[in-house]
Structure 1
Amino acid sequence: MRTTIIKKTLRVPISDGAPGDGAAVARQLDAALLGSGFKTSRDLLEHIGGVADAEERAAEVVRAVKELIGARGQHNPYFKEFPHNVPDTLAFWRECLRDAVAQGVKPTNNLLALPKYGRVQHTYEEMLRAHDELIPSLKDRITVVHLGGTLDEEVRRLFEELASSPIPLAEADRALLGELAVLCPDVEVEVPVRENRAILNAVRLVAQRPLEDIDTVTDVLRLAAEASGGDVTLAEPTRFRSFRRPERRALLRALDGVAASKLGDVHQNREAWKRLGERLHPHEHPFEQARDVFAVARGEKVARSFAGQVEMAFAENDVERAVRVLSNAPGMLLRQLDRLLRNGAADLAGHVEAAVPEVSGRVLVSVLEHLANRTTPDTARVFASRSRRVWIADDTRPPLDPGSVAEIVEVVENELVRRLPAYSELVVDDEVLDVVVPVSGTEEGFGVLPRGSKLSLDGDVLRFFVHWRQRAKRTDYDLSALLLNEEFEYQGHVSWTRLKLGGAEYSGDVTEAPDGATEFIDLHRKAVKARYVVPQVNIYSGEGFDEVAESMFGFMSRDRARKGKPFEPSTVRARSAMRGRGKVALPAMFERQGDAWVGTWLHLYLRGTPWGNRVEENRDVVKLIAAAALRRRYFTVARLRDLFARKKSTEDAPVIRVGLAQDAGGTVTTVAELGKLLSD
């Protein structure tokens, strides 16, 4: 847990060991962290220097930051001297054939059957000897690691941060919240997100403590899914476990308390309710209204759902009735705004004004972002599920009337301005102005930003990498890059089928990863002619992104004269876990702007094919996704700053600082905390 806290917060819990002389260890720690792009704060340095278990605490910090940036494994490229001496593709394949013949292996067109192909032919130490030491640079990233409170204080603080998050958490954070809930059984906190409530209630259920904050039947279904080790978001089917009799009684009692007014909600998860009913045995307990839930799921009892009432109104072309029905569900009203506007609903701004005080900040932000992209026609719609699976469809919707959109935007923005906290001064770092205000959790990692966020990368070379470690069977991931011109037209690619092209170079194909494998691609700024570069990770064979022991994507930048080994921790700008459901990952894309690359986070996954995914086969759909991502107008920190300006400052209010990293005093609002500024 101490390591987890350091990785999540960059705060080191205070050691509870005896006093001692750890000054030498503290200096060694600071030097070791600098090699990875980190530095100890003064308070942390003094604390490590004054405890007897300084060596243990220092090793703990180093281990945590190396895990954070993906530096624990040995990143050994196939070509030992990469980025130097990368061979021509066909010449390399011929060399592999000659090697096979020399070893007495029958020649074949199957590259995987050649002994030399896909298996690193040198040790990590031999690779290190082929590279000079990295020349330090003032441009290198330096991230400060601070001293925190006691372990109990830090556990509680992290629990409160996750549990009170106003936006849904990513999968890894949901799992961590469950662990922390066990350690913090008596901590009271307001929990706005229903998935988080279900996670906490699952812990209470197992401990036979009273369940809390259940006000819909779906809350009970989420709870049962979480308690069964399934998907609390209900996006994926759950195999419900056998519940103990006290647990069955608690679930049915909670269900009985909300079923009377919420039976219509059963339809959207009918099959899950049927499966859960087989585990709860509702006929054995005296909860009649709870039994009605399963009767509706089986079709034995009729209950008109709220969504069904809305659909019936639209089917009968009665838009005004649809508005009246939706006015009873403020969140659903705002989610249906596009449809209502297209069907000519009257006085919609007035209904929105009545609804917005009851709607969460993340929904309001989503509405503003959606409307900002609907007044001009588009050729395609790009959809992304909560599991980050993406698909594309033709956009046949007519653009919305700009005047009607402007009226609604003004109402929603006024509500957000009202919610913003009072401030005497607003300080926003320039590097976060193009960061998107998050409405859901992002991938686990370091320097990871919400989808659509931009960051500038200087340096002569942009290098991105993928690292994976298989769990049970041979797994081959392929790092590739699609090169596009100003019109998003195909200009070429770099992958295992084309090792280099005009300033872009590939480190070589590794086809198995029992101990971990890494592939790199270099982009030389002055030599690459493409305007856009879209990296992708293709699963050629083996385990999926959510099945392997670990998988990550990251990028770094450096000047060519600085040398160094392929993976230098201090040059890593970001490292993101890859855990999506799909066979092709699109973590980010890069655009050339003058003398710099500008990265845009995507966090998307394509379905792909079961086997043999290649960049050549998915280039057309990737072009559409890249174009859509750059055309889209996002709700960024810059727009949030403009809303603050409308609220104006108050002399005796606190200063609000917004940045990427937290300071020693904890006074900075980081990207993950932006949603709390918009909570009422």
Structure 2
Amino acid sequence: MIINTIYLRRANKIIVNREQGAERIPKTYLAAALKNIEHLGYTFSMPLLSAVRTLPREQFKALYHQLVADLKVLVGAHVEYRPMYQDFPLQVMQEDDADLYLNAIYHYLTLELPESKMADRPPLLDTASLKVIDLGNKAEFNMMIRQLIEAKGSISETDKQNIDTAIELADLEELDEILPSEIPFKENVGFVAGSLLKHDKANVKLIGRYIKTATDVLRLAVAWSQGDVSLAEATRFRKFKRSERRLLLGLLEQCGQITEDMLRYKERWIRLGEILHPSEYRHRYKRTEEAFDILRNNKPFTTFNGSVELAFQYHNVWVLMDLLMQRPGEFARRLDHLLRVAEDPEYVVLAFGEVADQVSTPVLLQVKNHFARRNVPQELRVFFQKGNVAKAFAIPNTLPAISQAACQDIIELCEKTLIQRFSALPPLGKTYIDGRLKSYHVPFSQRSASKALHTIVRGSRVSMMEGDTLRFFSWWKEGTVDGKPTGRVDIDLSAVMYDRNWQYVEHISYTNLRSSKYRAVHSGDIVSAPQGACEFIDLHIPSIVDYGGRYIVATLHSFTTQPYCDLPECFVGWMMRKKPASGEIFEPRTVANKIDVTADTQIAIPVILDLVERTVIWTDLSLTRHPYYYNNVEGNQKGMVLMGKAMTALRKPDLYDLFMLHAQARGELVDARDQAGSVFSVDKGVTPFDIELIMSEYLV
């Protein structure tokens, strides 16, 4: 069932309803099933084994076939891999340059792959730890969905699809388990309310408890029109029925100060008003009609932000403090600017201290992290654009230094406020916190996160598994999407190498299939994919490091310029191999991660490797094609170096710091994991992959 598909990807669990009195399936069935999924890198826990054995034979078969299909998609084993050189990597390393050139020309002219015979390959000599699938239940699944809805930050498109599916399938009793009394993050309000309306499971009372502001109503209208609830992009509103118009206008009327909120998105509200026709209901919704009248006719209206900008313009610090104390979250976001214009920064700190307890936990954590590194010399400042596409912008850091004493006071103020807040939560008891969590960032915003086998927060660093060869793989397919043919699709996999100072060393791509300086090799350039196509790159880590290389930027380029969102399927991933010439070229059990590439861009940077520290830096970024160059790795060097420097220098609040604050507030730290009742680690207890749990319960 579809719930198990979601549960498996998110938590490595499935639901099995035990059958009482049913004939147990033969041990041979179970042994064969486990052997088959072992090939994919998975096995069953003992509770799951026990539950599965109670199933009738036909139910077991159905469960097994669905499970195998889901696991194959997770690791990328659901498609056929036929690289241009089928005895990769040895064939490319041994072929002479003339043959490599002639084979490429033959393929470009005919779109046929050159004939090559698959050599006998020895069995896979690498060993990989199996991932354990555990037994779950419906209550746990519903709680997982509830935690997603309760997230204190934006969630990904995949998260939204999972919530929507759960709402669609839930009966009334389960809906009560899924829906919280409050939805903290405003974008999620619009999406969840829209999902409830779409599946005819909403009423004014139910969604009215979530709608607090005019922007909440706008997001609901956007969600109902299948638009971007982050409001980063404008939406073409659908035509609403009369009853739907009354619902939106009624929700708007019940909100507080709506005019100023509506002015933030003035043009969108004017377009929405043309569809809602508020003048038809002027006597029922008087405040709403007055607000639309101000927007449409440009009547004067003093806004809070206008007053703040005017005070900044004249450096009127006392007025600024009075204004910003009315909106503590805005005070936190403007704190650095205010300290820069204030002659006496200690008064600014005192004023912020009076309202810090009203600032959200995610914002306090970011303020604390910002001022902890505020005067540390940094070459770049990095910003992530709001919206569903992961685009990062890096600019030179020209911020002047500010009082270090003020910075320290703010850090201590944030810590004190957070510890006091966390102390009201249930006690943790003896608590163990893994030092490796310093490499994992706190999940504040997952809006543009790609669907992946293991999703973590952008900028986090993951230790590489054992092995000296990292094998990248990509797969894509051309065809028809929403009735529109893609035409020929050529997706190029590349790896660009830099030294420790980010000076270019070499690249491996369709223009350079192998290196003569170290062991790095590409499987060959395929330029058409009617049945699907793949490319591989092998990187031998010791030989690259010995040559002076340190960073590898993995990139995916759409040479034929189709954005990835317009393709039937496209994904990229990597494996760690000890004996790369053994086993199949694609071995599912060795897959470290696989990422679906669906962004509305033509260049993707899924990860950056630090070969000296043997870490994978999770980037999940997109670049826009440069208009004056071919869409390949050579034409985007400047952008990749900038992103590489920015992402490797990125320092955001980390999970170690977050969990330490919780431990100080409500736990007792211990040095050994087996002594603890509460464990925070990279592989046990609460882990960096429990994103919905962290966002809902540890960012309160």
TM-score normalized by structure 2?
A: 0.87
Residue 231 of structure 1: how far off its partner (Å): 0.7
Which position in structure 2 is the counterpart of 1:102? none
What is the match of residue 145 of structure 1? 133
SS at match of 1:388: coil
Where structure 1 has 5 or more consecutive residues not aligned to the other structure, the ranges are 100-110
1:89/1:497 contact within 8 Å kept: no
Match of 1:566 among 576, 585, 588: 585
Aligned-pair CA distance for 1:238: 1.0
How far, CA to CA, are the matches of 2:321 and 2:473 in structure 1? 50
Q: What are the superposed Cα offsets for residues 337-372 of structure 1, whole Å, 9 maximum, x if unpaired?
A: 221122225422223323332222222222233334
C-alpha distance in structure 2 between counterparts of 1:621 and 1:264, whole Å: 39
SS of 1:77's partner is coil
Moved more, 224-233 or 289-298: 289-298
Alignment partner for residue 652 of structure 2, among 634, 641, 644? 634
Matches within 5 A, 1:103-502: 112=108, 114-115=109-110, 119-121=112-114, 130-137=120-127, 140-150=128-138, 153=139, 155-184=141-170, 186-187=175-176, 188-189=179-180, 190-206=182-198, 207=200, 209-210=203-204, 211-212=207-208, 213-258=210-255, 261-285=257-281, 286-344=284-342, 345-386=345-386, 387-420=389-422, 421=425, 422-429=427-434, 431-441=436-446, 442-457=449-464, 458-470=466-478, 471=481, 472-473=485-486, 474-501=488-515, 502=518
- Distance in 1 separating the partners of 2:490 and 2:330: 44
Residues 253-312 of structure 1 deviation map (CA, whole Å, 9 limit, x = unaligned): 111122x51311223322221221122121222312222333343343333332222111
Q: Secondary structure at the match of 2:542?
A: coil
- Tell me how far apart the structure 1 counterparts of residues 115 and 445 of structure 2 sit (CA, whole Å): 43
Distance in 1 between the 2:287 and 2:562 partners?
44
- Measured after TM superposition, the shift of residue 376 of structure 1 is 2.6
Aligned CA distance change for structure 1 residues 89 and 377 (closer, same or farther; 3 Å): farther
Distance 1:173 1:676, change over 3 A: closer
After superposition, what is the alpha-carbon deviation per residue over 1:129-180, rounded to whole angstroms, capped at 9, x for unaligned? 653321242xx13211011114xx3552332122122221111112222222
Give me the whole-angstrom Cα distance separating, in 1, the residues matched to 2:221 and 2:167.
Answer: 17
Q: Against the structure 1 CA distance between its residues 563 and 453, is the aligned structure 2 distance closer, same or farther, given a 3 Å change threshold?
A: same
C-alpha distance in 2, partners of 1:487/1:439?
30
Distance in 2 between the 1:607 and 1:293 partners? 39
2:535 counterpart SS class? strand
Q: Comparing 196-205 with 332-341, which one deviates more in the overlay?
A: 196-205
Q: Deviations over 1:561-604 (max 9, x none)?
A: 671222211111112222333322111111122xx621111122
Structure 1 residues 44, 619: closer, same or farther in 2, change over 3 A?
A: same
| Counterpart position of 1:39 | 43
Q: Secondary structure at the match of 2:91?
A: coil
Deviations 1:227-270 (A, max 9, x none): 11111111122111111111110000111122x51311223322
Q: Distance in 2 between matches of 1:69 and 1:257?
A: 48
Query: Are the equivalent residues in 1 in contact too, given 2:626–2:635 (CA < 8 A)?
Result: no
Distance 1:86 1:191 in 2: 55
Cα offset for 1:660?
A: 4.2
> Structure 1 residues 66 and 512, CA, compared in 2 at 3 Å: closer, same or farther?
same
Question: Structure 1: which amino acid aligns with 2:306?
Answer: G
Distance verdict in 2 for CA 1:563–1:428, change over 3 Å? farther
Deviation track 1:8-49 (CA, whole Å, cap 9, x = no partner) reads 221111247672332333222211221111111111112222
**1:678 pairs with 2:692:** no
Amino acid at match of 1:679: L
* Contact kept in structure 2, 1:431 and 1:455, CA below 8 Å: no
Q: Is the 8 A contact 1:205 1:247 kept in 2?
A: no
TM-superposed deviation, 1:438: 1.1
The structure-2 alpha-carbon separation of the partners of 1:318 and 1:520, relative to structure 1 and needing over 3 Å to count, comes to same
Contact 1:382 1:625 in 2 (8 A): no
Match in the other structure for 1:604 = 621
Q: Which runs of 5+ in 2 are unaligned?
A: 670-674
Structure 1 residues 226 and 579: CA distance shift in structure 2, 3 A: same
CA spacing shift, 1:372–1:619, aligned 2, 3 Å: farther
Alpha-carbon distance in 2 for matches of 1:430, 1:650 = 16
Q: Secondary structure of 1:445's partner?
A: coil
Q: CA RMSD in A?
A: 2.8
Separation (CA, whole Å) in 2 of partners of 1:669 and 1:476: 33
- Aligned equivalents of 1:303 and 1:29: distance in 2? 69
Q: Give the conservation status (yes or no) of the 8 Å contact 1:361–1:675.
A: no
Q: What SS is found at the alignment partner of 1:557?
A: strand
Q: How much does 1:216 deviate?
A: 0.9
Distance 2:528 2:293 in 1: 51
Q: Tell me if the contact between 2:382 and 2:650 (Cα under 8 Å) persists in the aligned partners.
A: no
**Secondary structure in 2 matching 1:534:** strand
Q: Please say if residues 89 and 499 of structure 1, whose CA atoms lie closer than 8 Å, have aligned partners that are also in contact.
A: no
From 625, 636, 649, the counterpart of 2:667: 649
Q: Tell me the CA shift for residue 90 of structure 1.
A: 5.5
Structure 1 Cα separation of the partners of residues 657 and 243 of structure 2: 51
Shift of the 397–246 alpha-carbon distance from structure 1 to 2, 3 Å rule, reads same
Q: Classify the secondary structure of the residue corresponding to 1:481.
A: strand
Amino acid at match of 2:470: L
Give the CA deviation at 1:637: 2.3
- Matching residue of 1:105: none
Displacement of 1:521 after TM fit? Answer: 1.4
Give, in whole Å, the separation in 2 of the partners of 1:348 and 1:481.
48
Match of 2:536 in 1: 520
Whole-Å Cα distance in 2 between the matches of residues 145 and 62 of structure 1? 12
SS at match of 2:79: coil
Distance change >3 Å, CA 171–CA 399, structure 1 → 2? farther
The amino acid that maps onto 2:632 is R
The structure-2 alpha-carbon separation of the partners of 1:377 and 1:37, relative to structure 1 and needing over 3 Å to count, comes to: same
Cα drift, residue 205 of structure 1? 3.5
Kindly indicate whether the alpha-carbon contact (under 8 Å) linking 2:372 and 2:408 is maintained by their aligned counterparts in 1.
no
Q: Say how many residue pairs are matched.
A: 654
Give the secondary-structure state (helix, strand or coil) at the position aligned to 1:165.
coil
- Does the alignment pair 1:625 with 2:617? no
CA distance in 2, matches of 1:667, 1:674: 9
User: What is the rounded CA distance, in whole Å, between the counterparts of 2:581 and 2:511 in structure 1?
Assistant: 29
3-state SS of the aligned residue for 1:313?
helix
The change in CA–CA distance for 1:198 and 1:240 in structure 2 (over 3 A counts) is same
- For residues 292 and 585 of structure 1, the distance between their equivalents in structure 2, rounded to whole angstroms, comes to 47
Question: Structure 1 segments of 4 or more deviating over 4 A?
Answer: 87-90, 660-663, 666-669
Q: Deviations over 1:197-252 (max 9, x none)?
A: 11221134443511221111100000000011111111122111111111110000
In structure 2, relative to structure 1, the CA distance for the partners of 1:567 and 1:394 (3 Å cut) is: same
